[in-house]
């Protein structure tokens, strides 16, 4: 095996072990309490979901069903859950009364995207996490911004809970190699140029391959949904799922 290929293989094996260890600790360490995985079932979600399915298949998996997803995302969510054998998938929806009051016509995203995210993502997740002591995310350092300093284990200021990032140190190349080696199905919108996939009204094709999130909230004064933003951050520049 060529040296470069050997190094890449060893690196990926190390990352897999690191991620599996973090997932196993999260699920079995009594001091940590109850932990859930929060997944967007987006462009890179299959890697972490596969790792969890292989390591701790009984771990609760929370999916924020905002009511604004692409049809392709919903189909992909059902496919992955079935193929990976996820045993405890929970669909988290916005509160119907809150929707009726704050977004009766379903158009809030068109004039206040931040409020829409707060209504359809942040509030439902905070409610769902009340039964847990911490949660797992799929964020990586290579995604840039404040993610550049991600640790595998961190505290979440907004919820006061433990946050675990098993893929924090993975590279883009390692993610791609894992997908290929396990023949994981890609999100159907990837081949159309959607490199970061959120709700349909606020997601476009990536404007740059070097910035996968360049298609999210394009032309708006927003770069994140608010889930990973601390209360002290008023500019909405935290991390997104």
Number of H helices, E strands in the chain: 7, 6
Which residues, including other chains, have CB under 8 Å from residue 154's CB and lie 6 or more apart?
A: 162, 163, 164, 165
- Comparing CA positions, the residue from 133, 149, 130, 152 lying closest to residue 141 is 149
- Comparing CA positions, the residue from 195, 171, 164 lying closest to residue 42 is 195
Distance CA 210, CA 227 (A): 23
Assign domain 3-192 one CATH number from 3.40.50.970, 3.40.50.620, 3.40.50.1390, 3.90.1640.10: 3.40.50.620
Q: What is the pTM of this model?
A: 0.83
Angle, helices 71-84 vs 45-55, to 10°: value is 20
Average pLDDT over residues 165-191: 92
Which stretches does DSSP call E strand in the chain? 35-38, 61-64, 89-92, 134-136, 153-156, 161-164
Q: Which pLDDT value is given to residue 219? A: 54
Kind and range of the H or E run holding 18: helix 3-28
Angle, helices 172-181 vs 3-28, to 10°: value is 90
Q: What is the pLDDT of residues 83-140, one digit of tens each?
A: 999 999 999 999 999 999 999 999 998 888 889 989 999 999 999 999 899 999 998 8
| Active-site annotation holds for 117 | no
Residue 93: Cβ-neighbour burial (10 angstroms; 0-12, 13-18, 19+): middle
Distance CA 177, CA 184 (A): 10
pLDDT of 3 above 60: no
Q: What is the pLDDT of residues 218-238, one digit of tens each?
A: 555 655 555 666 443 333 333
Q: What is the pLDDT of residues 32-49, one digit of tens each?
A: 999 999 999 998 999 999
When pLDDT is cut at 50, 70 and 90, the band that residue 184 belongs to is: very high
When pLDDT is cut at 50, 70 and 90, the band that residue 182 belongs to is: very high
44 secondary structure, DSSP code: T
Q: Of the residues 116, 117, 202, 225, which is catalytic?
A: 225
For 130-156, give one letter per residue: b (16+ CB within 10 A) or e: eebebbbbbbbbbbeebbeebebeeeb
Domain boundaries of the chain, sorted by first residue: 3-192
Average pLDDT over residues 143-154: 82
């Amino acid at each position: 095996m060529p040296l470069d290929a050997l190094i890449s293989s060893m690196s990926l094996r190390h990352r897999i072990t690191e991620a599996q260890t973090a997932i196993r600790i999260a699920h079995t360490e009594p001091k940590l309490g109850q932990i859930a995985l929060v997944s967007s079932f987006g462009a890179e979600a299959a890697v972490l979901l596969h790792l969890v399915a292989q390591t701790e298949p009984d771990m609760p998996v929370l999916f924020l069903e905002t009511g604004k997803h692409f049809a392709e995302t919903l189909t992909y969510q059902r496919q992955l859950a079935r193929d990976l054998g996820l045993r405890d998938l929970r669909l988290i929806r916005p509160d119907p009364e809150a929707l009726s009051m704050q977004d009766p016509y379903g158009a809030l995203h068109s004039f206040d995207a931040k409020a829409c995210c707060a209504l359809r993502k942040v509030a439902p997740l905070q409610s769902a996490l009340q039964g847990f002591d911490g949660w797992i995310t799929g964020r990586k350092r290579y995604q840039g911004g404040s993610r550049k300093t991600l640790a595998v284990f961190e505290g979440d200021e907004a919820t006061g809970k433990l946050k675990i990032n098993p893929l924090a140190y993975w590279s883009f190349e390692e993610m791609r190699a894992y997908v290929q080696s396990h023949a994981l199905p890609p999100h159907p919108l990837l081949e159309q140029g959607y490199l970061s996939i959120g709700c349909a009204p606020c997601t476009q094709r990536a404007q740059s391959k070097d910035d996968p999130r360049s298609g999210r909230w394009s032309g708006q004064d927003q770069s994140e949904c608010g889930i990973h933003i601390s209360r002290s951050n008023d500019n909405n520049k935290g991390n997104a799922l």
